[in-house]
Amino acid sequence: MDILTGILTTAFLAGGDLALAALGEVLAERAGVVNLGVEGLMSLGALTAVATATARASPALGFLAALGVGLAFGIVFAIATVTIRANQVLCGLGLTLVGTGLAATLGRTYAGRPSPVTFTPVRIPGLADLPVIGPALFNQNVLVYLVFLVLPVALHILLFRTRHGLNVRAVGENPGAADASGISVARIRFWYVAAGAALAAGAGAFLTLTFVPSWSEGVVAGRGWIAVSLVIFAGYRPINAALAALLFGFITALGFVGQARGWPVSPALLSMLPYLGTLGFIIVPVLAWRRMRRFAAAPAGLGRPYFRDLR
C-alpha cells in the first residue's frame, strides 16, 4: 500500500466520527436548535460502545447501544430546550460537562483496555482494485460507507428534496411563519434534536469501534467541538459536512504520517493542527468571500426558542 492510499484510508477513519457528529448537528441546527453537547454525547457514545462490545462481543450492538444512549440524552436535551425552551447555549454546555464527566466516572473500569471487537473492513469486489482510491474507499468497514456515502445523500434528499424537509427548514428559518402554516414547530424540533444527539453518540462509537479502538478518559479530545465547527464551515449542508469531515480526517492523517516518519516537529505541536485548521476554516472563508455569506448563512431562527405568543 503506497503512502497516499495509507493517508486516504486513515483520513476516512479519522474523519468518520466528525462526519457522523456533524451530520447530527446539521439535523438539529436546520430545525433551529444549537446543540453544544456534542462533545459530551460523543464521550457517552464512545464508552457505551466499548462497554457493550465487551459484554456482547458485537460491534453492531455496541453501535446501536450508543445510538440508544444518545437518543435518551437527546430527548432530555430536547425537553429542556424545545419543550421548556431553556437557553440552548447553557443546556448544551451543561450536557457536555455531564457527558464527559459521567463517561469518565463510569468508564474507569474500561480505561486503557482495547475494544475486544471492532468493525472490520468489507471489501467491495472490483472497485477495491482501483489504483490509489480503491483500497481507501472500497475496502472500509460498514460505518465508513454509512457515514460517507449513505447518510449524507439520504439526509440531503430528506432536507432538500422532500416536502417534509422543506417544513424542517422552515421551522429553522422562520418558526413563526411555519407555525402559521400549520407545521408543528415543537414536534419537528424535538425529534430532530433527539435524532441529532443519537448520531453524535454514534460518532463516539465510531471513534472507539474503528479509529481508536479503546476507551480512555480524553479519547474524544475536542472532536465534538470540531464537528460543531465543521457544520458552520459546511454551510449547514449534509454532503458538504461529510466532505469537510474528510478534509479534517486528511489533516489528522497527515499529523500521523508526520509522527510515524519522525518529522522534526513535536507530536504535541502536530496535534494542534486540527484545532488551528478548524479555526482557520471558519474564519478565512468569511473574510475571503464576503458575498458567500448568504449562501452559507445559518438558519435565521437558529438558537432562538420559539414562543407562539411573541410571533
Partner 1 sequence: MSYRIQRRPSAPASTAIMARIGAAASALVIAGSILRWSGADPLALGRHVLAQSFGSRFGLEDLGLMVSPLLLTGLAVAVMQRIALWNIGVEGQFYGGAFGATAASLYLSGPAWAMLGAMAVAGCLGGMIWILVPTLARAYADVSELITTLLLNFVAILLVYYVSTGPWLDRATHQLASTPRIAARVPSIWGTVHWGLPIAMALAVMLAVLFGYTPWGYEVRISGANPEAAPYAGIPMRRRIIAVMLLSGGIAGFAGALELAGTVHRLQGGISNNYGYLGIMVAVLARNSFLGIILSATFMAVILNSGIVLQTQGLNANAVLAVTGLILILTAIGDEAAHYTFIAFDQRAA
Which residues would be at the binding site for partner 1 (CB under 8 A)? 36, 40, 80, 84-87, 89-91, 93-102, 104-105, 108, 217, 221-222, 225-226, 228-229, 232, 266, 268-269, 271-272, 275-276, 278-279, 282-283, 286-287, 305, 307, 309
Q: Which residues contact 287 (CB under 8 A, 6 or more apart)?
A: none
Question: Cα 120 to the chain's mean position, in Å?
Answer: 21
Nearest approach in angstroms of CB 91 to partner 1 is 5
In 109-238, which ranges are E strands?
Answer: 122-123, 139-140
Rank residues 3 and 287 by Cβ distance to partner 1 and give the closer one. Answer: 287
Q: What count of other Cβ atoms lies within 10 Å of the Cβ of residue 123?
A: 13
Nearest approach in angstroms of CB 280 to partner 1 is 10
Integer-rounded Cα Rg, in Å, for the chain is 19
How far apart are the C-alpha atoms of 28 and 188, rounded to whole Å? 10
Q: If DSSP codes are grouped into helix, strand and coil, which group holds residue 172?
A: helix
Rank residues 114 and 305 by Cβ distance to partner 1 and give the closer one. Answer: 305
Q: If DSSP codes are grouped into helix, strand and coil, which group holds residue 212?
A: coil
Q: What count of other Cβ atoms lies within 10 Å of the Cβ of residue 161?
A: 10
Nearest approach in angstroms of CB 208 to partner 1 is 18
Nearest approach in angstroms of CB 120 to partner 1 is 31
Rank residues 4 and 84 by Cβ distance to partner 1 and give the closer one. Answer: 84
Q: What count of other Cβ atoms lies within 10 Å of the Cβ of residue 83?
A: 12
Rank residues 108 and 311 by Cβ distance to partner 1 and give the closer one. Answer: 108
- Decide: 200 and 25 in contact? Cβ < 8 Å: yes
Rank residues 144 and 193 by Cβ distance to partner 1 and give the closer one. Answer: 193
Nearest approach in angstroms of CB 165 to partner 1 is 25
Rank residues 1 and 265 by Cβ distance to partner 1 and give the closer one. Answer: 265
Rank residues 117 and 193 by Cβ distance to partner 1 and give the closer one. Answer: 193
Nearest approach in angstroms of CB 131 to partner 1 is 37
- Phi first, then psi: what are they for 139, rounded to 5°? -130, 55
Nearest approach in angstroms of CB 291 to partner 1 is 13
Here the cell at position 127 is 472497485
Question: Cα 158 to the chain's mean position, in Å?
Answer: 18
Q: If DSSP codes are grouped into helix, strand and coil, which group holds residue 122?
A: strand
Q: What count of other Cβ atoms lies within 10 Å of the Cβ of residue 272?
A: 11
